[in-house]
Structure 1
Amino acid sequence: MCNNQEATKTSDKLLMQLHEQYAINNNSSMGTIVSLLVSMFAAISGYGYVWTHCGTASKNFELVDLTFAAVGASFILLVMSYICMNQGTSQRLEQFITYKIRDRCKITTFFPKGYDPYFKKGLDVVQGLYGEFVKIFLFVLLFVVASYLFRLYELQGMHWDFFYLIMVYVGLFVYLVLVLLFLFQNVRRYQKRCRLCPRTQNENGVEKVSAEDNAPFNCCIMNAIYGLYDEICGLWEKCKCVQE
């Protein structure tokens, strides 16, 4: 009887500690999200001010100024995307710790299913609002590109300047490639943690995990590209020059 009471008290204390830690992490995340929102609006406001006054009668700004403003706003969005992926993946990795604690103490019904850290694919590796912000930043970037092309067409006498068009397309391609590399980097962190903390038990006993469940993406093309990236990173880590 005493053992049952002690186990119940231990379980209650553990639940309280997990709840407090979750609240602390959530409050910290909210502060980070507010900072990201402020930074995003600051970047867009600066670009919007230049866009509004570019080519007007007062001639405050020229096309070159608008180009630098667009590049600056895009760079800020790229940096914030990196921060979101890094922070969101770190929170996802913390869920492995709480999962192991709950599994050891047989606490399976307290947390919702979405708190299960296993079998996440693609951008779902980035937990919570951080993953949504990466999508928002991409849409904001597309808005910047569309508005820049509109002003470019207007300032060039209603025709396109191919030099600026090529620059826009190259810049957008570079942005997307870097975001994809950031995602691959964090997916690799997640996959390594899954290998270190394999999920072997469920309510019915031993759980059989298929290769499809362990695949990092739902798309076979993305899995192939990620596989190449993972191989390159693995070879780089094994390089003696890097180890030294």
Structure 2
Amino acid sequence: MSNKQPRGEVIHGDIFDVAPGLPQGKAALVYIDPPFFSGRKRSNRSDGPSYDDRWPGGLGEYLAFLRRLLECTQPLLKENGVIALHLDWRAAHHGRIELERLYGPNAFVNEVIWSYRTGGLSRRWLGRKHDSIHIFAAGKDYTFNLTREKSYLAHRYGFSNVEIKEDEHGAYTHTALRDVWEIPALRGNQREYVGYPTQKPLALLNRLVGCFTNPGDLVL
């Protein structure tokens, strides 16, 4: 792809039908946001049903699907490409096991915790307000761009040889990005929201792409 004019392509179809026709061994990053084993049928606000996350065969059926999904996307990665599997508390641990089975435990790079504050609370357990993104690399020389984020200060004293900046939220410094990302989930009145259930914010995806790819790389 040209660095001057980035372009994208949207393919609507079943991943198991589409994947064989995609460029093999070319992707620097494959991001997978599969059903979460929620037991629910998800609907698009404007176009009706979007996908069915109910599994009559239970966990065994779901894991067979997840295993097949990861296996069909593995050939898309280039030699040192990175795969990011996005799940939540229901199946994130199973997803990591499947990634270790496929790529090996030493291929693990990060478990990114996406923390958000939307949704209700329960009287029986702590609020489940994060997703897990397991990141594995196909090779040792994967792309990693050290990214920095704003770290807001409770006070200004006690800092030496550190550049302190200020914006509308207060004084801050830049620190190396950690593996806990506090990015607001999308709300229905936001401009980028298109009505698709479980739509992820662009800020989350932009950060992933920025960390693990370079301009001109193929992202799937």
TM-score normalised according to structure 2 size:
0.25
**Higher RCO (C-alpha 8 Å, min separation 6):** 2
TM-score normalised according to structure 1 size:
0.24
Q: Is the radius of gyration larger for structure 1 or structure 2?
A: 1
- Which structure is higher in strand share? 2
